[in-house]
Amino acid sequence: MKVIICGAGQVGWQIARHLSGERNDVTVVDQDPELVRRATDTLDVQGVTGYASYPNILDRAGARDADMIIAATHSDEVNMVTCQVAHSVFGINRKIARLRSQSYLETIYSDLYRRDHMPIDVVISPEREVAAAALQRLSAPAAFDTERFMDGQAQLLGILIEDECPVVNTPLRQLSDLFSTLRAVVVGVRRDGTLFSPNPGDQLFVGDEVYVFAHVEDVPRTMEVFGKRAAKQERIVIVGGGNVGLTVASELESRANRVRVKIIEKNRKCAETAAEALERTIVLHGDGLDVALLAEAGVSRADAMLAVTDDDKTNMLVAVRAKSEGCPYAIALINDPTLVPLMGPLGIDAYINPRSTTVSSILRHIRHGRVRAVYSIGDAEAEVIEAEVLSTSYLAGKRISDIDFPEGVLVGAVRKGDEVIRPLGSTRIDDGDIVALFALAKDVPEVERLMQVSIDFF
């Protein structure tokens, strides 16, 4: 597949890394020659320096025979015009654009993206993706990472193994015997900074970060098995009243179970906008690092604190201060992945990486075959891929124990009809089943080969 990626920033580079690693023909376009050079020096991609919306630049990038274009520059307008030029001049079949401005995302203006207007097939909103990720984190407060699959019936949980975990030093195969009715599978373990897929004989140790796939009904029990207590989220403090904070607060307001939300926003105009848009949420104007203001917001009595300003270091410091004031659960928005290793030592419970959520969303739309969802784990260390098994797939008709999966791949869950089951070696994968696979980054191409997929533009 020939793909043009416009924008060689964090998201563009990450997408290029994924696609070039899977032997696609990838060309990166950016006006910054240093970013283009970084991409061509570190990845198996071609590079073109220039404005992505210029027809002659796209022509140099090979737009005449490209299958897809992904517009992920820092400018919404450049991304939109790029898709228009790709469609009108070069006839590129599939066009994906990252749009940040909420004005372009209003439902009442959705007709704008029809093929006879502004032909964009998929619009990705980083802020909406981050807001959705924040709500996911709040839904499982004892997990440092979480994502739902299979139409909400299954959930991936990232759990830190601590001293009180009752299954420390227990081989994973014994967990299956001890909790035979628990629909949960350990699919990944990060130990000493290295992520791997465990074997049945592997044990879990204090300090391990484990990724568990569980049926959504069994999530509370799964958390208990790993030594985590369920906690209600009735009082939440949000630091940062921009689009992300506003979206999260609005969603919490709309829920049937009463959640008391308070927002702290430094920018007065932004605070006023949030106050006008929300009904029950209290908006405070001031600095989230101000101890007195945090006390006024009741952070010591809050069940969770969410720091989603546009500054990583502010988010980290606010989370640390909230923890020091007695808040049991703090989430920080972190753009720079090099800061993530500091989360543990600083005592921050969970983080959200906008790059990872945006990359996951884009990958979901460009994967091969009947892929329904993709979630990127860590700094693109692994992926969870949810896909429908086709009748021509290598997997169809085989028992899991008979499938020659790579060492870094494990089956997290299988859905047959409306029922999600825990996969066993004897479980047979049939045509039409939905499978969720955990795969280390190096094994993703082999997973796609096993599923015998072809390019699917929907």
The 3-state DSSP class for residue 230 equals coil
CA nearest 275: which of 284, 267, 266? 284
Domain boundaries, the chain: 2-124, 130-225, 235-328, 357-450
Q: For the chain, 458 residues long, give each residue's pLDDT as a single digit of tens.
A: 899 999 998 889 888 887 887 678 999 999 999 999 999 999 999 999 999 999 999 999 999 999 999 999 999 999 999 999 999 999 998 999 999 887 888 766 777 777 778 889 888 888 888 888 888 888 777 788 888 899 889 999 999 898 888 999 989 988 888 888 899 999 999 998 899 999 999 999 999 999 999 999 998 889 889 988 766 778 999 999 988 999 999 989 888 778 899 999 999 999 999 999 999 999 999 999 999 999 999 999 999 999 999 899 999 999 999 999 999 999 999 988 788 888 888 989 888 888 778 877 787 777 555 677 888 887 778 889 888 888 878 888 899 999 989 989 999 999 999 899 999 999 999 988 999 999 998 888 888 777 654 444 33
Alpha helices in 170-267, H assignment, sequence order: 172-178, 219-225, 243-254
Beta strands in 119-183 (DSSP E): 122-124, 145-149, 154-160
Residues 236/241/247/253 CA torsion (nearest 10 deg): 40
**Tally of CB atoms within 10 A around 351:** 25
> Residue 407, class by beta-carbon neighbours within 10 Å (0-12 exposed, 13-18 middle, 19+ buried)?
exposed
2-124 and 235-328: same fold? yes
- Sheet order of strands, 184-191 included: 145-149, 154-160, 209-215, 184-191, 194-196
Pairing of strands 260-265, 282-285: parallel
User: For residues 371 and 363, what is the distance between their CA atoms, to the nearest angstrom?
Assistant: 10
CA nearest 52: which of 18, 16, 15, 4? 4
CATH of 2-124, one of 3.40.50.720, 3.40.190.10, 3.30.1360.200, 3.10.580.10: 3.40.50.720
User: What is residue 375's predicted lDDT score, i.e. its pLDDT?
Assistant: 84
User: For residues 27 and 5, what is the distance between their CA atoms, to the nearest angstrom?
Assistant: 6
Amino acid at 30: D
User: For residues 331 and 322, what is the distance between their CA atoms, to the nearest angstrom?
Assistant: 10
Chain segment 364-381, per-residue pLDDT in tens: 777 555 677 888 887 778
DSSP 280: S
What pTM does this model have? 0.73
User: For residues 432 and 410, what is the distance between their CA atoms, to the nearest angstrom?
Assistant: 19
**Which tokens hold the place of 430?**
């049939």
CA nearest 251: which of 111, 138, 153, 353? 138
User: What is residue 48's predicted lDDT score, i.e. its pLDDT?
Assistant: 96
Name the region of 25 (left: φ>0; alpha: ψ -120 to 50; beta: rest). Answer: beta
**Which tokens hold the place of 17?**
């890394």
Instruction: Classify domain 235-328 by CATH number.
Output: 3.40.50.720
Under CATH, domain 357-450 is a member of which superfamily? Answer: Regulator of K+ conductance, C-terminal domain (3.30.70.1450)
Instruction: Classify domain 130-225 by CATH number.
Output: 3.30.70.1450
User: What is residue 267's predicted lDDT score, i.e. its pLDDT?
Assistant: 94
